[in-house]
Structure 1
Amino acid sequence: MMGGDERYGALVLGIGNVLWADEGFGVRCIEHLLAHWQLPDAVLAMDGGTQGLYLLPYVQQADRLLVFDAVDFGDRPGTLRVAVGDEVPRFLGAHKMSLHQAGFQEVLFAAEMTNAFPRAVVLVGVQPAELEDYGGSLTPAVKAQVPVAVESGLAWLRRWGFHPTPRTLPDAPLPFDPALALVPYEAGRPSPDAACRFGDERFLGFAMRRG
């Protein structure tokens, strides 16, 4: 991973939380991208999660920024939309669905205020169908858009002069714990009847005992 004062041609970020259903769309796009494509050295792909301002140094060091995220565009669930330039912070702020979007808006604002805003910014977003299913995976409509979104992102990378190549090696590096990869994550899910779907039951039990 790059850091310090080293710059890179493009930063590809997937932001969101895989533990809350369609909130994990951006992270799953990064997983799919790295599983199928080898990126040039000048391109850094990251699971941005919900890190907010911790992402600022990476954004400041990028000439171009490509973001995958679940965004409330007001569209039908599963609808894919691309926002470019000034549209990106506007869409992220129009209907905030979670704290990570407010945090990433602050990242973009801080990058602009420090004269370190990327030359180009693109958001590939999907309209979520479900955000309140704790421990749930992507809904079918949103999951179907992951490869479509990645193809859209690849087209932007090529437009910017970067040319990812199809991955031939079976083991792709993951930007997170392998246990959170989509296949093992879905395989390890308890049934809806057995699972707590509105929060971490360990914390909830502690809170109820204290109450």
Structure 2
Amino acid sequence: MIPERRVVVLGIGNILWADEGFGVRAVEALHEAYVFPPEVALIDGGTQGLALLPLIEAAALLVVFDAIDYGLVPGSLRLIDDDDVPRYLTAKKMSLHQTSFQDVLGLATLSGRLPARMHLIGVQPLDLDDYGASLTPPVRAQLGAAVDHAVAFLAAAGFGATPRAAGEPVEPLGPASVGRRSYEAMS
């Protein structure tokens, strides 16, 4: 149990680049389906980079949804815990402004404020280069399994969820205009 500090469930990625948006879409799906106790924060981390550092440093338990490239079959889920979650500072960037999530975890490590427990729910992407596209079918097919796994993992850690009632209005985690349904309706 982690009573003194909060739990952060974070979806990261860029919804504009097909499967790169898996993390954001997974945390949205989790939020739409379940209500969690107040100590559990569901966050659309998108591409916020360093802005996520205070959230991560304040967490005792960090659960992350993300697209990860481990050379697996597209749509494969990979679950990674604690010390096996990649965290390092990188020198090679595509731009001077780019900060990877691994860099943010590296900075939290250096500050001595890395969450005590981390759990990464990753999916192998099929396509990261299709600008404006939604999730590909094999990645979209894993949203339910990723959500189910997160619910079970959090329940085992002492943070059970309550399913939302059918038709219950849900405040979006981010701008409604880029939520999955709205975004896909524009395509």
TM-score normalised over the length of structure 2: 0.89
Q: Secondary structure at the match of 1:89?
A: coil
Counterparts of 1:75 and 1:29 in 2: how far apart (Å)?
19
Q: Highest CA radius of gyration, 1 or 2? A: 1
Specify whether residues 99 and 175 from structure 1 end up closer, same or farther in structure 2 by C-alpha distance, changes over 3 A only. Answer: farther
Structure 1 residue 98: deviation in Å? 11
Matched residue count:
180
* Residue in 2 that maps onto 1:187: 185
- Quick one: which of 156, 160, 169 aligns to 1:159? 156
Counterparts of 2:12 and 2:98 in 1: how far apart (Å)?
8
- Name the aligned partner's letter for residue 168 of structure 2: P
Q: Secondary structure at the match of 1:86?
A: helix
- Quick one: which of 177, 189, 195 aligns to 2:175? 177
Specify whether residues 10 and 147 from structure 1 end up closer, same or farther in structure 2 by C-alpha distance, changes over 3 A only. Answer: same
- Name the aligned partner's letter for residue 187 of structure 1: A
- Quick one: which of 73, 76, 97 aligns to 1:76? 73
Structure 1 residue 171: deviation in Å? 1.2
Counterparts of 2:96 and 2:86 in 1: how far apart (Å)?
14
TM-score normalised over the length of structure 1: 0.79
Q: Which runs of no fewer than 5 residues in structure 1 stay unpaired?
A: 1-6, 190-211
Task: Provide Cα deviations, 1:96-121, integer angstroms capped at 9, x if missing partner.
Answer: 99999952111111111112111100
Contact 1:51 1:100 in 2 (8 A): no
* Residue in 1 that maps onto 2:106: 109
Structure 1 residue 9: deviation in Å? 2.4
- Quick one: which of 60, 64, 67 aligns to 1:67? 64
Structure 1 residue 90: deviation in Å? 6.1
Counterparts of 1:62 and 1:69 in 2: how far apart (Å)?
18
Counterparts of 1:112 and 1:23 in 2: how far apart (Å)?
25
Sequence identity (%): 48
Q: Secondary structure at the match of 1:46?
A: strand
Counterparts of 1:125 and 1:109 in 2: how far apart (Å)?
19
Q: Which runs of no fewer than 5 residues in structure 2 stay unpaired?
A: none
